[in-house]
Structure 1
Amino acid sequence: MSHSHDGTTIKRGLLYRLIAVCLIIPTLVLATGCNGVKSQAAKDFAPQSAQPAKASPDQPAAANLDQPAKASPDQPAAANLDQSAGASPDQSVTANLDQSAGASPDQPGQVGSDQAALIQATAEQTGQDEASPFDDDDLYDAPPPPVHDPLQGWNRFWFTFNDYFYMGLRPLAMGYKKAVPEFARTGLKNVYDNFTFPIRFLNALLQLDLTKAAREFGRFMINSTFGVGGLADLAKSDPNLQPGDEDFGQTLGYYGMGEGFYIVWPLLGPSTARDSVGMVGDIAANPLTWVFGLWNVYGEENYWYVSYVVSGGNRFNRLPEYLDNYDAMKKSAIEPYVSMRDFYIQYRQGRIEQ
């Protein structure tokens, strides 16, 4: 019997202790916060006379400045705002931060809220966030990999050649721009883009992007019929039928082929080993190749040169726009060759990622 009585006493003692712990823990949580200051719940349950007067959070400075006579030593935040009214915003906030450290220990909750408000005001006035600078992921972004340019001698020579060549064509291009209205030049560009739609359509299919393929097909049907053979780009008025620029170079990049080395071609401009291979695929998919051919086959009479004339004419039609962009790049570049090379590589990488 004594053992049974002792067991019952032990169980009752454990029950009483558990009840005491369950009562003490909520009381402590209600009375204090995890940082050692009063929590909001404790303020709400405190008597009304013990709660310090607090101005509206929207106009804390205005309320205190309008009633400077009511400031007392028990209200350090209001006094600090009154004293710093004539100082600059940065100095007033700094003074309040320095003086708030010496506030009365009878108001720990008020001190914590004042410091938080002042820190927030500092961030708003200086335009800086409270977050640590180590949280900025941009500081740790890896720089872009260097461009593989083993043929720099060749590339610089042809870059200079192309520069002089197109600058020599500038008077002719500017005369063409003034003689031919913009709507006519845009119409010619639209016709060429519409005629060469198979290049973009096939590459969209090869990239397994049925949305782009359907968009290219829809653009071709609308512009070929209602746009009078592509003279007017009516499909562009639909946000879902914006023009694309898919090519075989992007398709090779889609399947993981690296860009290889950088190379500059005469008259054609910047490229890479991958895009040079892709250029062959673009020529093969170009309808001009199948209509006129690229050379005279077996001595037969054909108009093989027409494909070159049409392609060259399209490039000349867009030359005024190209020259304007090229001049803007040269003016802002310290080293035009390096700027053109880096811009081309980044542009192609962006197109492949899209």
Structure 2
Amino acid sequence: MALVVSPYMKIYRRFKPHLLMVLAQIGYACLYFITDASFNHGMNPHVFVTYRHIMGGLVMFPFAYFLERKARPKLTLALFMEIFVISLLGVSLTLNMYFASLKYTSSSFVTSIANTIPSLTFLIAVILRMEALDVRNPRGIAKLLGTLISLAGVITMTSYKGPAIQSFSGASQHIRSNFVHKSWTKGSILVIASCITWSIWYIMQGITLKKYPAQLSLTTWINCIGAAQSAVFTVIIQHKRAAWRITYNNDFWSIIYAGVVCSGITIFIQLWCTKQKGPVFVTMFSPLATALVAILAYFILGEKLHIGRIVGAVIIIIGLYLVLWGKDRDQNHFKSQEQPTVISDNQKDPKMQVGSSAERQVLQMDLEEKDKTDG
């Protein structure tokens, strides 16, 4: 008896990657405020990155060991070196630069600049032919136009403020920070460099997953190797032992949250969605974090919300929709092209024709029996 799949289940399966990426961006948006508070409290960002991925590796290791024991491919030296480079790009190099820029600038500024990652990833994926781009059909035009529109929204958010909306009167004023960010030039350089390496990291994930499709194990390896790399880097630039001490307040809970949610669960979600939809799909959701940060900053911290940020967020969402529409049409197009091939192969397979041959033989016997009866 064939199982009947409900329409709601079909919708869930179709939009499962979209839902997971939205949840991942919500997790990242909360992370910006938690880490900002910890850095203002005196937490060293490089120590934070190290502790965060140690926690992520510890959390993901049991799941990877038991759930992927049979599905995990053999780890060769070449594959290990590839994961080593991925960890270097995505953890020790990118995040150390990223969180250092957060210390020198602000969470809103950093998240705005980070929205260039989808455009950079899309450009690299097209160059490497990992992403199809045919400007002769609406699918390719939508992806290209959507990427450019999202980039225009990023520029709008970073370069145009516009009139300010009055602060939310019910905001939790005691959470507001009095920390003055310094060295915006240094912070800008660091966040731009981190965006470039971050885009390359997403591309390399798509390549490595074809050789090592065990997402839980790959998440664990990225966390463990990245934590070791970050620890070496932090020891070189930070000679004070006191920097490694954490207190049971903002520092401790920010490490727990970042390790479990962002370094563990979120990286696994990104790897799973990358395998299903590709690296460009994953990065196209990153602008949502910017809009969420602006909204949360308005309602919780009482920060002023400028018209420019609202307009930029709307433009980014329009661009995101166009890209997702184009990728969805691409997927349907490729499936329709593969379907005739699958049918023709089945028709060529003798095993697939056993049933039809038997039916013809039975029909022939029936006809012969009928002729004898009539005679």
TM-score (norm 2): 0.23
**Structure with higher RCO (Cα < 8 A, 6+ apart):** 2
Q: Which has the larger radius of gyration?
A: 1
TM-score (norm 1): 0.24
Tell me which protein shows more helix as a share of its residues.
2
